[in-house]
Homo-oligomer: A and B are copies of this chain.
Amino acid sequence: MTSPEPRRRPGGRTARIRQQVLDAVLAELGEHGYDGLAVETVAARAGVHRATVYRRWGDVGGLLADVLDAAGDDDWQPPDTGSLHGDLAALNQEIHDALVAEPPVVAALIAASFRSEKAELAQRRLWEGRYARCETIVSRAVQRAEVPPGTDAQRLLIAATAPVYHQLLLLRTPPDPALPDQAARTAVLAASAGAFAGA
Binding site for B on A (CB under 8 A): 35, 110-111, 114-115, 120, 124, 127-128, 155, 158-159, 161-163, 165-167, 169-172, 178, 182-183, 185-187, 189-190, 192-196, 199
Lowest 7 CB-CB distances: which A-B pairs, in order? A162-B166, A111-B114, A162-B162, A190-B190, A189-B193, A186-B195, A162-B163
Q: Say whether, besides A189-B195, A192-B193, A170 and B172 are in contact (CB < 8 Å).
A: no
A194–B182 Cα distance when bound, in Å, is 12
Looking at chain A's contact residues, the main secondary structure is helix
A189–B187 Cα distance when bound, in Å, is 10
Number of this chain's copies in the assembly equals: 2
Residue in contact with A171 in the complex, picked from B35, B124, B193, B199, CB distance below 8 Å: B124
Q: Is the CB of A158 within 8 A of B169?
A: no
Q: Is the CB of B159 within 8 A of A163?
A: yes
A24–B110 Cα distance when bound, in Å, is 28
Q: Say whether, besides A186-B195, A189-B190, A167 and B158 are in contact (CB < 8 Å).
A: yes
A172 to chain B: closest residue by CB? B124
A163–B161 Cα distance when bound, in Å, is 9
Residue in contact with A166 in the complex, picked from B120, B158, B187, B194, CB distance below 8 Å: B158
Q: Is the CB of B190 within 8 A of A195?
A: yes
Q: Is the CB of B120 within 8 A of A170?
A: no
A35–B115 Cα distance when bound, in Å, is 8
A148–B35 Cα distance when bound, in Å, is 47
A70–B6 Cα distance when bound, in Å, is 43
A166 cross-chain contacts in B, Cβ below 8 A: 158, 161-162, 165-166
